[in-house]
Amino acid sequence: MNARTLVAGLLALGAALSAAARAEGTTPAAHAAETPATTPSVVIVVFDALRPDHLGAYGYRTRPTSPTFDRLAEESVLFATARSSAPYTLASVATILTGRPPDEHTLTTFERALPAEVPTLPRLLAPAGYRSVVASRSGILRGFGIEDDFELRFVDPKLTGDARAFRRAWKEALTTLASGERPWLAYLHFFPPHAPYRPPKGFALPFELPSAAGVSGAVAFLQSLDRGEVKLDDAGREALLARYDANIRVADHELDDLLAYLRGLEVLERVWLVVTSDHGEAFGEHGRFEHNSTVYDEMVRVPLLVRPPGGLAKGIRVEEPVGLVDLAPTVLTWASQPVPTTFAGRMWPLSERARYAARTRPVTVRSASPPEWFAITDGDWKYMRPLAWARGGPEQLYDVTSDPRERNDVAASRPDLLGRMRTAADRELALQREHAATTRPLSAMPADTADALRALGYVQ
């Protein structure tokens, strides 16, 4: 990196931080008067089901999964602890794009569509003149209203999508947007490393895939593991993890392709780039596999990199735990747009010693399959219980700093703390009910979306 890009990066970071300070407690009118002459474009990149602890930048050393991601981290802000709002695509992506927890935007089941009264980022950014594109290789995002506010749309109808059609779509869209004068927002949803864990034919992997009897990366095999019908021995577990890692290496290759394309369009140094995932992926840590079903960290922790325009001279690591519910307020702040006062999230702290500006609500998570679980986090602590809970029902409490694998439930031994977290959960759930949109039933699911969901076992 040369001195000029370093200075540009630091200036951009400083501008964003002062914009965040201005956004706190200023009126929209006063704020608009300070709108900078150049409004930055924003690229949000999501890799489906990408665990942070399988990336080199997060300390993974077993296999070389992520050279591109690791290089990008060196010029970005890396969040050590980031959590999605749900361990499944639909609710998590709706939170990313609306800034509302799942039970506020209400898109928590495949039987609903996003209510028209709930704006997504393109509508919230419209007053600042933004254009927008959504491109998704995951058919799960099709037909539920998530894409409706975007100007340019490509959502592959098939389960695993067509890699080439997706690549062509986002390249064409970015070329169109980059050639215009107006700022733009791109939401790009890549399918790998989501199951099946099977790199494309001919993909050059820099590591071996050990074989073990009966083990594959097929969705049906993962489902049989999740139902407990098949058990893994150590060799089987290693073979499965290697296949997941192979898919991460594919994702990393696609990130490299995207960065090269943004460079080629001469926009990489002018955009805010966010790289993350919609949820994690489980490998039996709490008895379950894939995602959807629990609120434990293997299913909800996500990687999160934020590269400011121009990049940073040296990567910044932020230890403060954050949520993807903060993504929308962060983007609105970059665009000098007011953040709705009802938003649960706040702009991400973008420097090592920064803390959230006036965050008053906890980061929350809710799972999909019954019993739906709900969790709140507060610093070191994570508290969870089923959403349909009555006093005396199951509760769990973990010190996720000293016990990051959530092995040691301290609910029984810390009654005072449990009571405090229970009260905080009660208060947060009451707020989510108060802010909940009116649910909108899905009139008809597109047939190809239904096929995709059936193939994943998500619907019958």
Binding-site ranges for Zn ion (CB under 5 A)? 48, 89, 278
Q: In whole angstroms, what separates CA 295 from the centre of its chain? A: 14
**Least spacing, CB of residue 282 vs Zn ion, in Å:** 13
**Least spacing, CB of residue 354 vs Zn ion, in Å:** 29
Would you say 278 or 372 has its CB closer to Zn ion?
278
**Least spacing, CB of residue 325 vs Zn ion, in Å:** 16
Would you say 277 or 336 has its CB closer to Zn ion?
277
Kind and range of the H or E element at 95?
Answer: helix 89-98
Would you say 184 or 191 has its CB closer to Zn ion?
191
DSSP-derived secondary structure for 247-273: HHHHHHHHHHHHHHHHHHTT-GGGEEE
**Least spacing, CB of residue 154 vs Zn ion, in Å:** 17
Dist. CA 299–CA 87, nearest whole Å: 5
Dist. CA 49–CA 112, nearest whole Å: 23
* Joined tokens for residue 394: 């199951």
**Least spacing, CB of residue 207 vs Zn ion, in Å:** 25
**Least spacing, CB of residue 399 vs Zn ion, in Å:** 28
| Length of the chain (residues) | 460
CB-CB contact of 317 with 78 (8 Å): yes
* Residue that the structure tokens 């050590």 belong to: 80
Would you say 20 or 82 has its CB closer to Zn ion?
82
Here the contacts of 220-226 (C-beta below 8 Å, separation 24 or greater) are 222/195, 222/289, 222/290, 223/289, 223/290, 223/457, 225/284, 225/289, 226/288, 226/289, 226/290, 226/293
**Least spacing, CB of residue 219 vs Zn ion, in Å:** 13
Q: Which residues of 440-450 are buried (b: 16+ CB within 10 A; e: fewer)?
A: bebeebeeebb
Would you say 66 or 92 has its CB closer to Zn ion?
92
Would you say 48 or 297 has its CB closer to Zn ion?
48
Dist. CA 38–CA 334, nearest whole Å: 11
Would you say 291 or 346 has its CB closer to Zn ion?
291
Residue least distant from Zn ion (Cβ): 89
Q: What are phi and psi of 246, to 5 degrees?
A: -60, -40
Would you say 159 or 173 has its CB closer to Zn ion?
159
Would you say 101 or 349 has its CB closer to Zn ion?
101
CB count in 10 Å sphere of residue 395: 18
Torsion of CA 162, 168, 169, 171, to 10 degrees: 140
**Least spacing, CB of residue 286 vs Zn ion, in Å:** 19
| β strands within 179-290, DSSP E | 184-190, 271-277, 282-283, 289-290
Taking Cα atoms as reference points, which of 341, 385, 344 lies closest to residue 362?
344
**Least spacing, CB of residue 52 vs Zn ion, in Å:** 15
